[in-house]
Amino acid sequence: MAQGQRIVLASRPVGEPKPSDFRAETYDVPTPGQGEVLLRTIWLSLDPYMRGRMSDAASYAQPVPVGGVMEGGTVSEVIASNNPGFAKGDIVLSRAGWQTHALSDGKGLAKIDPKLAPISTAVGVLGMPGMTAYTGLLEIGKPKTGETVVVAAASGAVGSAVGQIARIKGARALGIAGGKDKCDYVKRELGFDECLDHRDPNLAARLKDACPKGIDVYFENVGGAVFEAVFPLLNAFARIPVCGLIAHYNDTEAHQPKWAASMMRTVLTKRLTIRGFIVSDFAAMHADFLRDMSGWVRDGRVKYKEFITEGVESAPQALIGLLKGANFGKQLVRVGPEKA
Ligand SMILES: NC(=O)c1ccc[n+]([C@@H]2O[C@H](COP(=O)([O-])OP(=O)(O)OC[C@H]3O[C@@H](n4cnc5c(N)ncnc54)[C@H](OP(=O)(O)O)[C@@H]3O)[C@@H](O)[C@H]2O)c1
């Protein structure tokens, strides 16, 4: 019987995940039953939310059980089908997780047309991260012409799209990213108006200089020191879509903001809108997103970068790296070739 490879959660991490929190296993590739399809994973998407699934702290989603296959979105090929909705050779968006093969009853699978765009984009700029940028920015951030939009993790999957969409909407886009190479890319390749390095000890002063008219939209991806630099510069009626707080995902103690009271006073006096969201809150916007974003990608108005590691066994180290900025662009794992 053919053997597959998978990565399971070996233990719940304390702080930064370690390679020993994961375990590689081999398993018999299953045979699809009535109504089922067998999937071969081509692309596995690695995303910051996976750190949350490794923990059993209360959240909006259930954790991965210890011993369970790590969760994840995939682009997969149907290699055997007993389901009339899918044929051998179909390419589908799935949640097959960190494994080479998986069974599905077809629920939740979405066919991908390989003629429209590279299939990897279904988990990137034309998938969940792109949709997160589009919905959070347009529904909560609501940038207007001439306003200043700031986004951190600006070279990553979500942040890169946020700044480019902000520019399309006529706003000024300022990115914050880790290191010179990422900042150069964000400015020169993605066309942001400015990009600052969050490791610069003078970030707060540089941000102030770079935002002479203050900040109207802060798309929050990271929290931590970046948020503290941004907050004093927010204009009255600024909007803050709270998308992610990656600077805190490995924290071991609940974060106790010492300045919560003065922050709330500013929320009141500046009439700030701070709204957390999960991309699925805006599922009804999916058709609008795909229409706009695929058009912008086709026209070259939205560019994207992929950061690829090879083989499912590379996923643990790649996720550990993603949480501290080792990725440069959308983090993908090539689990198998596009053409088997
Ligand atoms: N709400 C939702 O539905 C939703 C959906 C998707 C993603 N998200 C969130 O969106 C954010 C970005 O996700 P992504 O998939 O686009 O990841 P990404 O930006 O491709 O990768 C994560 C990046 O975060 C940055 N980072 C890590 N620690 C940092 C720190 N302490 N300070 C500043 N930056 C730090 C690193 O970039 P640098 O090298 O630039 O520091 C790293 O490359 C995450 O917080 C994620 O949880 C939320």
Work out the burial of residue 208: count CB atoms within 10 Å of its CB; fewer than 13 is exposed, 13-18 middle, 19 or more buried: middle
Residue 262's pLDDT band, with cuts at 50, 70 and 90, is confident
Rounded to whole angstroms, the Cα distance separating 290 from 167 reads 18
Which residue type sits at 170?
G
SS3 of the chain: the string is CCEEEEEEECCCCCCCCCHHHEEEEEEECCCCCCCCEEEEEEEEECCCHHHHHCCCCCCCCCCCCCCCECCCCEEEEEEEECCCCCCCCCEEEECCCCECEEEECCCCCEECCCCCCCHHHHHCCCCHHHHHHHHHHHHHHCCCCCCEEEEECCCCHHHHHHHHHHHHCCCEEEEEECCHHHHHHHHHHCCCCEEEECCCCCHHHHHHHHCCCCEEEEEECCCHHHHHHHHHHEEEEEEEEECCCHHHCCCCCCCCCCCHHHHHHHHHHCCCEEEECCHHHHHHHHHHHHHHHHHHHHHCCCCCCEEEEECHHHHHHHHHHHCCCCCCCEEEEECCCCCC
**Ligand 1 pocket at CB < 6 A:** 47-49, 129, 132, 152-153, 155-159, 177-178, 182, 198, 221-222, 224, 226, 243-244, 246-247, 277-279, 322, 324-325, 327, 330-331
Tens of pLDDT, residues 133-169: 999 999 999 999 999 999 999 999 999 999 999 999 9
Residue 50's pLDDT band, with cuts at 50, 70 and 90, is very high
Tens of pLDDT, residues 208-248: 999 999 999 999 999 999 999 999 999 999 999 999 999 99
Q: What average pLDDT does the segment 307-315 reach?
A: 98
What atom of ligand 1 comes closest to residue 159's alpha carbon?
16
Question: How confident is the model at residue 9, as a pLDDT?
Answer: 98
Rounded to whole angstroms, the Cα distance separating 216 from 243 reads 16
Tens of pLDDT, residues 266-290: 999 999 999 999 999 999 999 999 9
Pocket test for ligand 1, best of 164, 246, 274, 280 (most atoms within 8 A of CB): 246
Mean pLDDT estimate for the chain? 96
What is the separation of C-alpha 226 from the centre of its chain, rounded to a whole number of angstroms? Answer: 18
Percentage of residues of the chain with pLDDT beyond 90: 93
Please name each of the domains of the chain with its CATH number. Answer: 3-124+305-334 (3.90.180.10), 131-283+290-295 (3.40.50.720)
Residue 257's pLDDT band, with cuts at 50, 70 and 90, is low
Percentage of residues of the chain with pLDDT beyond 70: 99
Tens of pLDDT, residues 53-91: 999 988 999 999 999 999 999 999 999 999 999 999 999
User: Going by CA atoms, what residue is nearest to atom 8 of ligand 1?
Assistant: 244
Å from CA of 325 to ligand 1 middle:
8
CA angle 238, 242, 245 (to 5 degrees): 130
What atom of ligand 1 comes closest to residue 242's alpha carbon?
1
Q: How far apart are the first and last CA of the chain?
A: 18
Residue whose structure tokens are 């946020």: 162
- By DSSP bridging, strand 172-177 and strand 148-152 are parallel
pLDDT at 332 over 80: yes
Quick check: 162 and 219 in contact, CB under 8 A? yes
Question: How confident is the model at residue 256, as a pLDDT?
Answer: 62
| Cα-based distances in Å from 143 to 4, 111, 134, 243, 259 | 47, 33, 11, 16, 28
pLDDT at 325 over 90: yes
Å from CA of 161 to ligand 1 middle:
12
What atom of ligand 1 comes closest to residue 246's alpha carbon?
45
pLDDT at 255 over 80: no
